[in-house]
Amino acid sequence: MYDHSILITENPTKKPKPSHENLVFGRTFTDHMFMMDYTEGIGWHDPRIVPYQPISLEPSSMAFHYGQTVFEGLKAYRNEEGRVLLFRPEQNMRRMNLSNERLCIPAIDEEFALFALKKLVDLEKEWIPTAEGTSLYIRPFIIATEPFLGVSPSKRYQFIIILSPVGAYYKEGINPVKIAVEEEFVRSVKGGTGTAKTGGNYSASLKAQEVATKKGCAQVLWLDGLEKKYIEEVGSMNVFFKINGEIITPALNGSILAGVTRSSIIDLLKNWGIPVTEKKISIAEIREAHAMGLLEEAFGTGTAAVISPIGSFHWQEHDMIINNGETGILSSRLFETLTGIQTGKLEDPFGWVNEVNVLQRS
Ligand code: COI
C-alpha cells in the first residue's frame, strides 16, 4: 500500500492568465500539474503536485516507441457563487482503468486519482474561466517510462494530470460543422483498441483528418473497419442522428469509444421521453433518410466538443446538407441543458455534478 498524502511544491512564478474571451482549445496550461510514478514491485508511488514543467525521460522510454499510453479528458466549471464543478469524473477514472487494462498498464486507484485531480483543480481554481462556452479542460494521462526497446509491457509508468483553460473545440464554436465520411482509412476493428482512450487511435486518424481538412471539413466520420458500411464515430466525438422524430446512435460494438457525454445524452433523451435507439446503422440508410427528407438533425457528442451540430456530411463526392446547415432545435436544447447542468445553472436531477471539495481522504 502506498502513502496517499500528496506532496505539494508551489510554483513561485505564476503565469498571467489568458483573457477568457479569446481562449482556444488546449494551448495554455496552468501553473501546476499532478504526477505519480509506478515501479514494478512497488506499485504507484510518490503522488505530488509540482510546478507545470517539462518532464525528463530517457529517449528509450517505451511510450515513445510502442505507444503504450492512455488518456482521459474532462472539464471543470466555476459558477457565479464560486463553486467548482466536475461532470461525472468517476466515469473518466473508470474508463481510464478500462483503457489501462487493454494497454497492459497497471490499474490506478480510481478514488485516489479523483481525489488527486480535485486537489489539483482546487489549487488552480483561479484558472477556471467563467465566460460563456469556456471551462478548465483536465487531461489525465499515463505513459510507459521504462527505458527498453523490447516489445512488452513497461515496468515503469508516470501518471500525470495537466490543466488547460479552454474555449470551443472547433473554430466553428457551437455552429454546425462539416464532416467528411471516410472511405479509405479505418479507425478500429472489434478486438482492436477502439474502445480504449489511447494515443495510437488518434495518431492513426491524422491522415484521414488531413484529407478531410483539404475538403473543408472539420473532422471525419468513421465507418466500420470490415465492410466500411456502418457508422462508428466522428474523430473526437460520438454521433447521433434524428430521423423522422427518432434519435439513433451507433450501438457500442467493441470498436466505438463509450463516451461519457454519449451516455449522458441518452439518459437525458430518455428522461424527456424522446425515443432513442442504439443500433447498427449504415451510411446508406443515412443517405436514404436524407433523400426522403427525414434526416432532421445530426450532432456529435464529446467532452471537448460538448454537443456539436453537424451541418453536412460529405460522402462519395456529394454533400448531404442537414437542416439547411443550421443548428437544430433538439441539438440546441441538448446543448443548453447539458451545459446548464455542467455549469450548475440548471438543476441536476441525475446526480452527475461532482463538486470539488478537497476534504482530506480518510
Ligand atoms: C475529449 O473529448 O475530451 C477527447 O478526449 C477528445 C480529444 C481527442 C480532444
**Which pLDDT score is estimated for 81?**
84
* Separation in Å, CA 94 to CA 26, 204, 233: 23, 24, 21
Q: For atom 3 of ligand 1, which residue has the closest CA?
A: 73
Does residue 342 line the site of ligand 1, with CB under 6 A?
A: no
Q: How confident is the model at residue 170 (pLDDT cuts 50, 70, 90)?
A: confident
Q: For atom 6 of ligand 1, which residue has the closest CA?
A: 236
- Average pLDDT of span 244-271: 96
Residue whose grid cell is 474523430: 235
CA 239 from centre of chain: 13
**What atom in ligand 1 is closest to the CA of residue 237?**
2
More confident residue, 333 or 82: 333
Does residue 73 line the site of ligand 1, with CB under 6 A?
A: yes
**Which pLDDT score is estimated for 362?**
43
**What would the pLDDT profile of 111-121 be if each residue is shown by its tens digit?**
999 999 999 99
**What would the pLDDT profile of 15-65 be if each residue is shown by its tens digit?**
999 998 789 899 999 999 999 999 999 999 999 999 999 999 999 999 999
Contacts of 190 (CB under 8 A, 6+ apart): 225, 253, 254, 255
**What would the pLDDT profile of 3-22 be if each residue is shown by its tens digit?**
568 999 999 999 999 998 78
335: left (phi over 0), alpha (psi -120 to 50) or beta: alpha
Ligand 1 centroid to Cα of residue 226, in Å, is 25
- Domains of the chain, start order: 7-167+352-356 (3.30.470.10), 177-327 (3.20.10.10)
Percent of the chain with pLDDT over 90: 89
Residue-averaged pLDDT of the chain: 94
Does residue 300 line the site of ligand 1, with CB under 6 A?
A: no
**Which pLDDT score is estimated for 1?**
42
- Strands 135-144 and 74-78 turn out to be antiparallel
Q: What is the C-alpha to C-alpha distance for residues 83 and 355, in angstroms, rounded to an integer?
A: 7
Q: Where are the beta strands (DSSP E) in 257-343?
A: 276-279, 295-302, 306-315, 318-321
For residue 361, is pLDDT > 70?
no
**What atom in ligand 1 is closest to the CA of residue 169?**
9
Residue 219 grid cell: 473532422
